[in-house]
Amino acid sequence: MVTTCRLLLLLALVVILPTGTRGTCGDSEVGGIANGFYCYLFSHELMNFYDANALCEHMDFDYYYQDSVEYDAELFQALNYYGRRGEYWTSGNDLTWEGVWAWAEFDYHIMEEAFDNWAPNRPSIDSRRNCLYIRYDGGSAMWYDGNCQLRKHALCFG
């Protein structure tokens, strides 16, 4: 049964790996071509914010966070190279304190960091929009706030 569950999870994911040397990604059983630092997992299936987090943890990857221009450029390169247009959950949220956006893994505030990539007029002041996702349209990858129960792709990296 466990093997069947793992197989189904592997089928639900696509590994997006920028150019580089061949190897495995993180500690998971997912292999592929990894760049010098990270590889990315984008789910084929749509899921809510919480399920996306659980999927990343199950695969031994981190739920995506972005705190530098270098991370932004690397993700954009991967999205652009593989043509992965869509909306992707990140670990960013303001679930602890309304209006105080933080990356879940580190519990530091996004607005205090030197880098953010919010779309114009975002984040909104709508208290129902507590989770951060990236919208990639082929030309840009901007941050948006949305209801955590909306169904989007998971974005993991390791």
In tens, the pLDDT along 61-73 reads 888 887 677 777 8
In tens, the pLDDT along 26-46 reads 444 333 234 446 778 888 899
Residue 50 has pLDDT above 90, yes or no: yes
Tell me the DSSP string of 32-89: EEE-SS--EEEESS-B-HHHHHHHHHHTT-EEP---SHHHHHHHHHHHHHHT--EEEE
Largest CA distance in the chain: 47
Residue 151 has pLDDT above 70, yes or no: yes
Determine if the pTM surpasses 0.75: yes
Contact present, 25 and 16 (Cβ < 8 Å): no
Tokens of residue 60, six digits? 């031994």
Q: Could you tell me which of 81, 80, 88 has the C-alpha nearest to residue 139? A: 80
Residue 96 has pLDDT above 50, yes or no: yes
Q: Could you tell me which of 61, 29, 27, 26 has the C-alpha nearest to residue 43? A: 61
Model pLDDT, residue 19? 39
Domains annotated on the chain, with CATH: 43-157 (3.10.100.10)
